[in-house]
Amino acid sequence: MDYRLAYCLQNGLPLDMDVYDLAEWCCLAELGELSMDNNCASVAFPDFTRGEWNKIQGYKHAYATQEEEANSMEKAKTFTKKLKEKKYRDAYGKFVIEGIKLIGEAIQENADIECIVICEDCMKENCIDKKLMYEIAKKNCVYVNSKVFNTITDVSNPQGILAVVKRADTSEKINYDEDAIIVLDGIQDPGNLGTILRTVDSANLKQIVISKETADVFNSKVVRSTMGAIFRVNVVRSDDLVHDLIE
């Protein structure tokens, strides 16, 4: 991302074609038009930077160093690969979501997104709504090449975007005031579990209780199958269903 465009928009400076040609986010063109329509007035603008940027003077370029880019890439690669394992998801209280729809759902539901990993090579082939693009750009984004992205993706035809999300701080106790309490015992198939969560969500129920023998709801396959329901349904894991339900 050429920083001159951000600098111009933030400071109400004139925009020339040179600056536009270097913009990677097409939604910025609309911000530029807004600025020019208001006599180059300053436009509120999210931080599109990658890593630690050099200080800029006037129109000077400010790019992340190769070392900074490499460090960000390696951290994203290592951490997201760790989160493929349940023990690390539990330890960090985080999980991975992948794909344009899921990330859009996460943003819409105000999920706590720690970072978004974007494959620049892959994204050229996928179309993201401009409004969603703008919201994504407000987050902490790490840009990687296709070689790195392919080592961390869990799907065969990735859309080139995934995110690390913090689990919501929900109650671990069953809410007995709900109209209905859905209980799952020993469901192991990720696709089936995700479909059930999606069905619970469509019925406008806010809670589901699962046994310790049931698959991890934050498994990437389960999360994909929920199609966003994971952000709206509180999942309570019970070590003793009989005891908890009688109670």
Distance separating the N- and C-terminal Cα atoms of the chain: 57
DSSP for residue 230: G
- Predicted confidence (pLDDT) at residue 83 exceeds the cutoff of 70: yes
Q: What is the pLDDT of residues 132-172, one digit of tens each?
A: 877 887 788 888 888 888 889 988 888 889 999 999 876 67
Please give the mean pLDDT across all residues of the chain: 76
Predicted local confidence at residue 221, as pLDDT? 94
Mean pLDDT in residue range 200-219? 92
Given the DSSP bridges, would you call strands 161-166 and 182-184 parallel, antiparallel or unpaired? Answer: unpaired
Look at the chain and count its residues. Answer: 247
Q: What is the pLDDT of residues 90-103, one digit of tens each?
A: 999 999 999 999 99
pTM confidence score: 0.70
- Predicted confidence (pLDDT) at residue 222 exceeds the cutoff of 80: yes
- Predicted confidence (pLDDT) at residue 7 exceeds the cutoff of 80: no
Do the beta carbons of residue 229 and residue 201 sit within 8 Å? yes
Predicted local confidence at residue 118, as pLDDT? 86
